[in-house]
Amino acid sequence: MAHEHKLEIFRGALKFKSNVSKIWGVFILLSIVTIIEVVLGILRPEALVGNKFLAMNLLNWIFIILTIVKAYYITWDFMHMRDETVGLRRAVVWTGVFLIAYIIVLILIEGDYIYEVYKNGFIKFNF
C-alpha cells in the first residue's frame, strides 16, 4: 500500500525526509515548548507577571499561546490531521474551536460578574 504524508511543517520552512524523522522533529519541538513553559513557570519573571495585556498578564498569555501551539502540532502531526481531507479537518476543528471558545467566553464573564457581586455586595465568603 502506498502512504503519503505531508512532510512539511512551519508552512514548508522545514521539510523532513521521512515520516519517522518528522515525528522526531515534532517531538523535539514539543519538548522545547514544554521546557520553556516549565522554566517560565518556575522563574515567573517580574516583567511578564507585572504587565497586562487585555486584562491578563503577559506570562499567562505566553502559557496559553504555547499550549495552543502544542495542541496544533499534536493534532496536525501526531494525529495526522494534516493528511486528512479538508472536509473532515474543518468538521472536527472548527466545530470544536467555535463551541469551546464560546463556552469559555460566556462562563468566564459570568464568573467575573459573580466575583464583583461578592466583592461589592453584602454576601459572605461562602455565599
Strand partners of residue 8: 15
User: What grid cell was written down for 7?
Assistant: 512532510
Q: Which is nearer to another protein, 14 or 88 (CB)?
A: 88
Helix (H) or strand (E) holding 19: helix 19-43
Strand partners of residue 57: 52
* Residue 90 Cβ vs another protein, minimum distance, rounded to whole Å: 10
50 to 79: interface string for another protein, x by CB under 8 A: ----------x--xx-xx--xx--xx-xxx
Cβ density class 32-70: b for 16+ within 10 Å, e for less: ebeeeeeebeeeeeeebeeeeeeeeeebeeebeebeeee
Q: Which of residues 8, 52, 108, 121 is near another protein by CB under 8 A?
A: 108
- Please report, as ranges, the residues that interact with another protein according to CB under 8 A: 1-4, 19-20, 23-24, 27, 30-31, 34, 37-38, 40-42, 44, 49, 60, 63-64, 66-67, 70-71, 74-75, 77-80, 83-85, 87-88, 91-92, 95-96, 99-100, 103-104, 107-108, 110-112, 114-115, 118, 124-126
